[in-house]
Amino acid sequence: MSDVWSLGIQRVLTRVNSFHQPGSSKSKCKLFLCNAQNIGWIREDAANQLRQYPNVFIEHSDRFTLSDHLNTYESRSETIAKVLNDMRARDCLKTLRGWRDELYLVKSAYKNPPLFEIERSAASIFGIRKYGSHVNGYVIDDDGTWRMWVGKRSETKQTFPGMYDNLAAGGLSHDLTPTECMIKECEEEAQISKELATKKLKAVGAISYCYEDDDGIHPEGEFLYDIQLPTTFTPNNLDSEMENFYLWTIPQVKQAIIEDNFKPNCAVAVLDFLFRHGFITPEQESNYFDILSQIHMPGH
């Protein structure tokens, strides 16, 4: 691979893992624990607000914990929802302006039982890991050429408007498994029928990373899927989240990634696809191991 490619990929990975980069807030954050389990990071701007609720959040020298009386899923969920609604009414943190009325389950690890549920836009206040499902859709032409379907996000999207995206993707809400989420998003975002998605979707792994921005800290894990589509298929967006779809060759996809035209985490999902299918090899890319480690960052 060329130096331009390697530098472009490093830019993407630095952005998507900005919380782990020099100069981030990481060294000044406090841990967030629930039921003796580490579930997040509290930045100082968030800590200043949580101190307004001393009967809910208990501050220690290096961590915040929930009050001992909040010892059930229901009590934690209800109490935190009240706090967040109050914070939203006070307009004290920017991220809550993006309130979505969508609930995420909070876990110390994906395999563990949920500790409580939380409004999606508030997860970054606590540095809580969010999960999602992404699919790379592709076709193989009769001459063996691989091409990938790439979506372009609507200019009215709340986040990353107008940037390139995977064929379909979505956050993992509290009532869906990763595959159920992917089937739902395929239908809504690309008009891939439930029957076709159920038959053709292939679970292929996951990526993980952590970035921070004005909204807070974003540890995220994405379950990845591939779907090989018929050459006659054309995606069509049903929920107004995608402005258009493009069927690109692999070189076109690579170029769009290093030109920073992709939503960063979607670029990483595509990068994983390129590695798995041999479009990036150890002989071509001297940073092979380093890139792989940066798209599979450990959790808390």
pLDDT in tens, 124-148: 999 999 999 999 999 999 999 999 9
| Rg over CA atoms, the chain | 20
DSSP 8-class letter at 155: T
pLDDT band for position 158 (cuts 50, 70, 90): confident
pLDDT at 182 exceeding the cut of 90: yes
Q: Please give the share of the chain, as a percent, with pLDDT higher than 90.
A: 86
The pairing of beta strand 164-165 with beta strand 168-171: unpaired
Query: What is residue 159's predicted lDDT score, i.e. its pLDDT?
Result: 81
In the numeric block, the tokens 């869906």 are attached to 176
126 conformational bin, left if phi > 0, alpha if psi -120 to 50, beta if neither:
alpha
Write out the residue limits of the CATH 3.90.79.10 domain(s) in the chain: 1-20+130-295
- CATH architecture, domain 26-126: 2-Layer Sandwich (3.30)
Write out the residue limits of the CATH 3.30.750.160 domain(s) in the chain: 26-126
In the numeric block, the tokens 């985490």 are attached to 265
Summarize the confidence of residues 175-194 as an average pLDDT.
94
Query: What is residue 300's predicted lDDT score, i.e. its pLDDT?
Result: 63
Return the CATH number of the domain spanning residue range 1-20+130-295. 3.90.79.10
Question: Please, what is the average pLDDT of the chain?
Answer: 94
pLDDT at 266 exceeding the cut of 70: yes
Contact 135, 182 (CB under 8 A): yes
User: At 183, which amino acid appears?
Assistant: I
pLDDT band for position 298 (cuts 50, 70, 90): confident
Distance CA 61, CA 64 (A): 8
Summarize the confidence of residues 50-59 as an average pLDDT.
98
158 conformational bin, left if phi > 0, alpha if psi -120 to 50, beta if neither:
alpha
Contact 87, 49 (CB under 8 A): yes
Provide the token pair at 158. 């709340």
Provide the token pair at 1. 């691979």
pLDDT at 208 exceeding the cut of 80: yes
